[in-house]
Structure 1
Amino acid sequence: MYALILCGRRSIELQKWGNLSVSVKLFQNVFSAFSNSYSSASVTPRDVRKGKNFTVSYLVESLGLASKIAESISRKVSFEDKANPDSVLNLFKSYGFTESQIGDIITDYPLLLIEDAEKSLAPKLQSLQSRGASSSELTEIVSKVPKMLGMKEDKTISVYYDFVREIIKADKSSKFETLCHSSLPQGSAIENKIRNVLVLRELGVPQKLLFSMLISNFRTVCGKAKFEDTIKKVVGMGFDPTSLRFVQALNVVYQMSDETMQEKVSVYKGLGFDVGEVWEMFRKYPPCIGFSEKKILSSVETYLELGFTRDEVTMMVKRFPSCIGLSAETVKRKTEFLVKQMDWSLKDVASHPQVFSYSMEKRIVPRCNVIKALMSKGLLGSKLPSMSPVLSRTDQTFLNKYVLKHDKELVPELMAVFTRVRHGF
């Protein structure tokens, strides 16, 4: 099968995309599906705010996490005292996990912080350690796949642990090793999933994506015949197996019937796109065709209401297909800031649609504040700089061009302007 797939990747041309299927579900489901089995007790809004504030402070002080990462984690899990999270962290330390590994574990799967360290986590770690792995192997494997500790079935945890261990060991060898699992019941869900993940590994899908699919409940890797057919289609499209887009396309193609796919293509055709353009958009951002007709039309309407012309909307979607999936609130907020507060034109925004993916707090506002400060001092002349050079460059390039080249007396002031919003001041 592997040889057929690898050969098909080179021989099937892009023109054959017309008979493929696509999915409503976004790739993010791969990473979040597993956590849906957990629930939290009902709390009041005041309790939520108190818990979130304490959680952020705890994560920053105890794990050294950046405040933004801590805030993101606090939206998934929160607590009001340190007793339980301390017991979890101390347990990991007792097994030899480094501070860096513990930080990675909590960032990847923060729900572990509210697990019972003694009754839930300790027995699982003891069981895994008893399988003969060294301390360094145990900490490496769990650090790469921490969601494993959230599983309830000890047998499932052990099977996945052994499998991940084999992949890590094989990937470290100088010669590529073909792995197989024959100890599992033929046709079982776990057997199907492991077999399919092995196929993806041989195609070059990296560990991080493999392991995320392995421990998810997403149907794409749980079947057999349909999975094989989907793989042949996706590799035939020319997607790079080492990229996130490959896995996105795999999940998308797996889900829809050909008829549903044609209906979605027709929606875009009705907005002025031709079939070739639709598939090029799919190539850039596979989930775009999976959006519902209502979502697609609503997104277009949002841009039109803000004053963009239909041609500009079409251009934005072609260049940056993910902009069709953004919330109306996000689009309005960023457009109004750039146009009303910075005085860039709608045409400027349309020419650089990637701006909708930039963080307001981390990139847009801090950089724009620096530009406004420089203009108020007459250091940029009377003409506003072009949007793309200001927002698309790396932080260091931006600082070199607009901050660090000025007099030593001015640099601290500009740096304060730049960091104020980014650090939440």
Structure 2
Amino acid sequence: MAIRTLNRFSGFHLFESSFLRILTYTTQQIRSCSRSLHTPIKEGSEFPEGAHYRQLISLANLLQRYGFPASQLHDFLGKNRFLLSFSLSDVEKSLGILLSFRLSQNHLVSVVSSCPAVLELGFLRKWEIGFSELAFSSVSQLAIRNVLEHSRRFQLDPVHLRRSLQALKGVGFSDETMIRILEELPRAIVMNEGEFRRRIDFLEEIGIRRDELDGICHSFPGILGFSVEGRLIPLFREFIDLGFRMDEFRREIIRDPRILSVELGELSRCLELLRTLKCRLPIKEKIENRGILRACFQVKLRVDCLCRHGLIRRDALKVLQREPRSIIYELEDIEKKIEFLRDRIGFNPCCLTEVPQYLGVNFEKQIVPRYSVIEHLRSIGGLGTEVGLETLIKPSRLRFYNLYVKPYPECEKIYGRFSGEIEVKTRHPVGLWKLFKPQSYPNSKEDLRNIKMFMESLV
């Protein structure tokens, strides 16, 4: 009986301890939330911060219903405490207006995360009227998002947008080009017609026709954001000093207007790299077959690609200089190789400075089969030492086959290069050897007699 009473008392004691721990933890969480919102706690009061806490929870639930990730809400609301001063019904109306702009869930979350002040109801109601007055048949989600963010940060209203669009239309741009400008260059909202005119006049002075301007600005709207005196004229002078002809310069701008995005002095470094390349003649001819100016721009694009993945500009130039074949490959192929190197093989792209040959080999025929063989051998414990990127890429195909494929028959199908199932195509048609076989003639009696006499003379 005493033991049963003691057990009941112990169970009650454990329950009481657990309950007290839960109550203490809940109180601490409420107090920490209150401190993060700068709400003072007064002694002797029964949680005066409860109203703010309930407001916080309601706002978090509302944002979560509209697609905000729950894992990001705590940091988002902690950094934007001013949202608690908004009425919950006003925030819901603001989110409804954003959805009426045909914004997708991802765009809605992005615009509110990057600029939470757009949730102000009065601001969105002005832009609801402003967007409805646009003469466009359709406006892209990206353009609406950029206009809202830019106008909220710089206290702009729909009047600025209408004035800017009228200036663009006066220059002669189509509706599609104007939408592209709002997508890529939202600060065009505050530019006037005179600023647009100066850039258009410069392009006409270097030989661009008026009917070509719309396509150029649609392809690269950023050109309207460049300063004529501070950027375009010095860049044009650099092209001339490097020896490029005016017609070549005009042709390349029409083909790819992004060539005007090069920094001052950047094209000179690319040209110097091309002049000092040490490679086989066929590779050099492929690089320069469409002109030196285009080859310089292709080098610039690949340097930018490598820099986006963590290399500094000097190392990126060294990689291209040591592996000129990478200039021949398309940018999509280089991006695919770097992503495979980082995500699948597990190496930092900065290691390309040590093994630049990785960018010069074929992705489908060499990189993927070799990596698949090494992964299979690693899974069965067939590797004595770890295989680095240099060991993976530098050996010839036959040497790699002899080292890692030939001793393991199951790797034949994975590697594929020397697999027995692959039919080796002969260089000549079957039976061609018969055409080169000397014609035979029957021996006559005189021939047999001569042969017999010759053999007797040898005895």
TM superposition score category, shorter chain reference:
0.3 to 0.5
TM-score after normalising by structure 1: 0.47
